[in-house]
């Protein structure tokens, strides 16, 4: 079974608008972390934001916020005031504390910001 | 030390040849990970080291793949008798030891893109 699901292969957003990228996850581990990474065409994985399973508040980092709905097992990324430089692949990922040290990544969403 | 370095950035090789990639982690990170990312997919875990010990290997790591971290610093990933299906981006990452949390200073390199022709 897929542990991380990203149902949007591609998304378009107008510059300066907000956009939400969806992510749902599956785990039975009570302790886990959820991450969003940005991967531009250069290939590097750029860390954007982190949400711990016990965190009471939604994480925010500048223009990025994570809409964490634990009961629904969703961790959507919201990018406010989109910029042309936000065009990239975006990956949702999870680390389970009780299940080794590696990330499980979703298939990604390609975001294109239109001028 | 500005981050995780990977060399080469790009490698084109003929089917059947052996290739070796190198990863230099952040110096104070004792954990090092290898991932493979095929076109249009998210990265998939291959293996990880704590210091020089290889502690976990994915089933994706076939017998043709071997990874080493002989002195607990840099690591190499070798693929023997390459196949076209090995064409992918190979990402290295390093981290600090876990303190029981999921987020602990995990940094990716820029990857090595392998093309097998």
Q: What is the pLDDT of residue B104?
A: 67
pLDDT at residue B44 in the model: 94
B60: confidence class by pLDDT, cuts 50, 70, 90: confident
B-chain residues near A53 (CB < 8 A): 102
Task: With CB atoms and an 8 Å threshold, state whether A104 touches B101.
Answer: no
- Supply the Cα-derived Rg of chain A in whole angstroms: 14
Q: Could B43 and A91 be called an inter-chain contact, meaning their C-beta atoms sit closer than 8 Å?
A: yes
Cβ <8 Å between B55 and A101: yes
- Residue from B36, B29, B50, B46 nearest B104 by CA: B29
- CA A60 to chain CA mean position, Å: 12
**B67-85 exposure pattern, b = at least 16 Cβ within 10 A, e = fewer:** bebeeeebbebebeebeee
d(CA B82, CA B35): 17
Average pLDDT, chain B: 91
Extract the tokens encoding A25. Answer: 């996850």
Averaged pLDDT, B1-7: 85
Q: Is A52 in Cβ contact with B56 (below 8 Å)? A: no
Alpha-carbon distances of B66 from A77, B21, B24, B46, B54, rounded to whole Å: 36, 11, 17, 10, 11
State the DSSP code for B57. E
Residues in chain A closer than 8 A to B45 (CB atoms): 102-104
Mutate to test the interface with B, among A37, A47, A103 (most CBs of B within 10 A): A103
Please give the residue of chain A at the shortest CA–CA distance from B47: A102
Residue A99 has pLDDT above 90, yes or no: no
Q: Are strands A24-25 and B10-13 parallel, antiparallel or unpaired?
A: unpaired
Q: Is the pLDDT of residue A101 over 70?
A: no
Phi and psi for A14 in degrees, rounded to 5?
Answer: -80, 140
What is the C-alpha to C-alpha distance for residues B104 and A3, in angstroms, rounded to an integer?
21
Tell me what pLDDT residue B65 has. 96
The closest CB to that of B103, out of A52, A100, A102, belongs to A52
Band of pLDDT at residue B101, cut at 50, 70 and 90: low
Mean pLDDT for A57-64 is 96
Q: Which of B2, B10, B41 is nearest to B116 (CA)?
A: B10
Of B75, B67, B68, B71, give the one whose Cα is nearest residue B94.
B75
Out of B42, B89, B103, whose CB is closest to A107?
B42
CB-CB under 8 Å, B113 with A97: no
Residue pair B46/B67 in contact by the 8 Å Cβ criterion: yes
Residue B100 C-alpha, separation from nearest chain A C-alpha, in angstroms: 7
- The predicted-structure confidence for A4-59, as pLDDT tens digits, reads as follows 999 999 999 999 999 999 999 999 988 899 999 999 988 889 999 999 999 999 99
Work out the minimum CA distance from A113 to partner chain B, whole angstroms: 19
For B62-77, the pLDDT digits (tens) are 899 999 999 889 999 9
Across the interface, which of B40, B45, B113 has its CB nearest the CB of A43? B113
């Amino acid at each position: 079974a897929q542990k991380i699901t990203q149902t949007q292969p591609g998304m378009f957003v107008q510059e300066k608008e907000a956009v939400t990228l969806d992510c749902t996850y599956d785990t039975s581990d009570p302790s886990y972390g959820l991450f969003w990474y940005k991967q531009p065409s250069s290939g590097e994985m750029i860390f954007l934001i982190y949400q711990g399973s016990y965190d009471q508040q939604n994480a925010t980092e500048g223009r990025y916020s994570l809409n964490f709905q634990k009961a629904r097992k969703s961790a959507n990324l919201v990018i406010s005031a989109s910029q042309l430089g936000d065009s990239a692949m975006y990956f949702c990922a999870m680390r389970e504390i009780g299940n080794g040290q590696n990330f499980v990544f979703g298939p990604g969403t390609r975001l294109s910001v239109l001028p | 030390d500005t981050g995780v370095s990977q060399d080469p950035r790009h490698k084109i090789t003929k089917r059947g040849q052996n290739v070796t990639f190198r990863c230099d982690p952040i110096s104070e990170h004792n954990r090092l990970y290898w991932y493979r990312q095929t076109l249009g997919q998210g990265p998939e875990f291959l293996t990880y080291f704590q210091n020089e010990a290889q502690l976990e290997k994915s089933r994706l790591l076939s017998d043709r793949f071997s990874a080493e971290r002989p002195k607990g610093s840099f690591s190499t990933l070798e693929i023997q008798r390459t196949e076209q299906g090995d064409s992918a981006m190979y990402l290295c990452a390093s981290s600090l030891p876990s303190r029981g949390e999921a987020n602990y200073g995990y940094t990716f390199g820029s990857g090595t893109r392998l093309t097998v022709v």
